A = this chain, B = another copy of it.
């Protein structure tokens, strides 16, 4: 347990939740990493598609980036409205649920879940790609490095959001400052050199053109570049994590994220063309990411290069963190609506939804291994989910404003109506724009891997439905309309397995006699013929002295002894047969089986016993018998003189005369030894 504590930190109480809220400063790393880090792979993904055009391809990155920036602007305005309208939690799931119905919300949920998982996989693989660019010797260990980074992030997130935010702030701000500095230097140099600056370190030479430009190629390039926009929705999902005033803090954070992202995207696109930098194939040795070539070209491979690349690596790896904050919260919302197992809604020791964190880590790890940590292969799966969620969220907002307009009727005043109209239009444009982008992405990337995402969505939807159906079934099965019904409520029939006259049996019979007038001790024997007869006589004699006499003396009904032959040397089956016999006799009573079970200090010691009680419990459970109750009467092995001290219920010796009379024969035969 202390290792767990060391790794995960002390456990937190529910009322500590409030102090773990985030502000603009801590919100930028916690919720913005995903969006900001997209700058590191979005432009590269777009450039990779343009590669067959050779050097001519660079001319098209500018216009494509402009379209992406325009779309980003639309998304920004739309999401500001969403945040204001849903200050508690404005994720696509909630917005779709409240405005478009259950199915749309589940579609959004599935899309978002896939998107979060891919964010983790892409972020980590791109981060490791940055590391490999700086240290080419590491290229061989790509997958291992990915998994190590994943494990670290998972552990940090099991500790809780707030600490994660603080731990991630430094690299985020280093990333922003150093990259903007590099871009500024680059732009100044480029302007001074009339658009043709001389690189400090020459970028990789660009291969010859193998194809000519066409609409299809440009669409694919745009579709890949759209991955730069993923992560923008994170703030609207995480509004509830902000300090008061929530909406304002969330608005400021969103503005900062989108603003910085736009600067980075624009700068990279401009300078890639100015310096003549194209994408390279990550599978080939000597791979350099676009950012690595760009930074090298502008400031050379000095200490600043390494600081910048280190921050890119850190931010890319940590961008996965945004998903680790949002994914469990999303799963919790879905689980609260009974569409995911209840574990996703159960908060852990550090106020984190641990199941969600672990599930996300497992799924991302699976993807990283499956795709060998190659970012370019993961990109086509990506963005489908994000843009599907964008579209559903915007469409939901359109319905939201329409309802508002219909609901308020004329009562809200012209100004409010006009504002709602405007907002409806803004979200409408957002919905159409993201739907268009989604169509392009789907068409352009289908065969490259988007089909995997499209296939996964219905599978997730089916799972949601199965889980939901099951919970509803259980709910109706345990539903109880009437009050406590105490008619015909006799105590249960009690069965106690007897193997010999021992302290555990003594304790079991005390309990049995105290809860029911009908107690039967069951002794199983696999002896036969005379030996069985002798044993039976001895057993009955001992039972009379040890059990029946004290019971009569205490004025309680005496437990009966039942001797059962078991030719197959079994325990479970004959016991169950006894239970069935009693069940048939009293069809309205519960049967309680008291199982005194020896519990050892270690599993090694427990290997030394047959665990009949456990086998009987499993056997009974398999039969799904609603009328049989099992009582676990624990008996712990201790050194003899400690037993009486611990076992308060076991009283000191009494009526020793009767026992003395029994002793000679008991010594010889023992009870059912």
Contacts and interface: CB of A to CB of B under 8 A. Distances in A.
Interface of A: 11-15, 341-343, 346-347, 349, 467, 470-471, 473-474, 476-492, 501-506, 509-511, 513-516, 526, 528, 545-547, 549-551, 553-554, 556, 567-569, 587-588, 590, 592, 598-599, 605, 607-610, 617, 620-621, 624-640, 643, 646-656, 658-659
A480 B643 CA distance: 12
A511 B491 CA distance: 7
A503 B474 contact: no
B489 A510 contact: yes
Contact of A626 (B590, B647, B651): B647
A648 B587 contact: yes
Given A14-B528, A653-B481, A654-B487, A631 B631 contact: yes
Contact of A550 (B483, B510, B630): B483
Nearest to A480: B503
A12 B471 CA distance: 45
Given A588-B648, A640-B477, A632 B635 contact: no
B632 A14 contact: no
A411 B661 CA distance: 39
A487 B554 contact: yes
A528 B654 CA distance: 52
A568 B653 contact: no
Contacts of A515: 491-492, 515-516
Contact of A554 (B489, B617, B636, B648): B489
Given A470-B605, A648-B626, A526 B14 contact: yes
A630 B631 contact: yes
Contacts of A592: 631
Contact of A483 (B11, B607, B658): B658
Contacts of A630: 631-632
A631 B634 contact: no
A659 B638 CA distance: 51
7 contacts: A471-B608, A478-B503, A480-B503, A481-B659, A484-B546, A599-B621, A631-B631
A536 B470 CA distance: 29
Contact of A506 (B12, B484, B568, B587): B484
Contacts of A478: 502-504, 598, 635
Nearest to A636: B624
A610 B502 contact: no
Contacts of A634: 620-621, 624-626, 628-629
Contacts of A473: 637, 639-640
Contacts of A484: 506, 509-510, 546-547, 550-551
Contacts of A471: 608
Contacts of A637: 473-474, 477
A362 to B, nearest CB: 14
Contacts of A605: 470
B15 A528 contact: yes
Given A626-B649, A634-B621, A481 B656 contact: yes
Contacts of A631: 592, 629-632
Contacts of A658: 483
Contacts of A607: 341
A150 B226 CA distance: 62
Most chain B CB neighbours (cut-off 10 Å) among A13, A471, A587, A652: A13
B506 A486 contact: no
A343 B511 CA distance: 30
A608 B654 contact: no
Given A11-B568, A551-B486, A479 B503 contact: yes
A295 to B, nearest CB: 47
Most chain B CB neighbours (cut-off 10 Å) among A346, A598, A651: A651
Contact of A13 (B470, B510, B568, B625): B568
A474 B598 contact: yes
Given A526-B14, A626-B636, A483 B608 contact: no
B656 A482 contact: yes
A654 B590 contact: no
Given A483-B658, A588-B649, 20 more contacts: A12-B568, A13-B567, A15-B567, A342-B609, A346-B610, A473-B639, A473-B640, A474-B598, A478-B635, A480-B501, A483-B654, A484-B546, A485-B550, A485-B653, A485-B654, A491-B515, A587-B648, A620-B634, A626-B649, A628-B634
Given A515-B491, A631-B630, A632-B630, A505 B482 contact: no
A490 to B, nearest CB: 6
Contacts of A490: 514
B502 A485 contact: no
Nearest to A597: B621
A482 B653 contact: yes
Most chain B CB neighbours (cut-off 10 Å) among A343, A484, A625: A484
Contacts of A643: 477
A116 to B, nearest CB: 21
A476 B640 contact: yes
A598 to B, nearest CB: 7
B608 A470 contact: yes
B569 A346 contact: yes
A159 to B, nearest CB: 16
A486 B626 contact: no
Given A481-B659, A504-B478, A599 B627 contact: no
Contacts of A627: 648-649
A605 B470 CA distance: 8
Contacts of A625: 634
B489 A514 contact: yes
A638 B590 CA distance: 19
A514 B485 contact: no
B659 A482 contact: yes
Nearest to A510: B489
A633 B647 CA distance: 25
A653 to B, nearest CB: 4
Contacts of A588: 648-649
Nearest to A556: B486
A341 B606 CA distance: 10
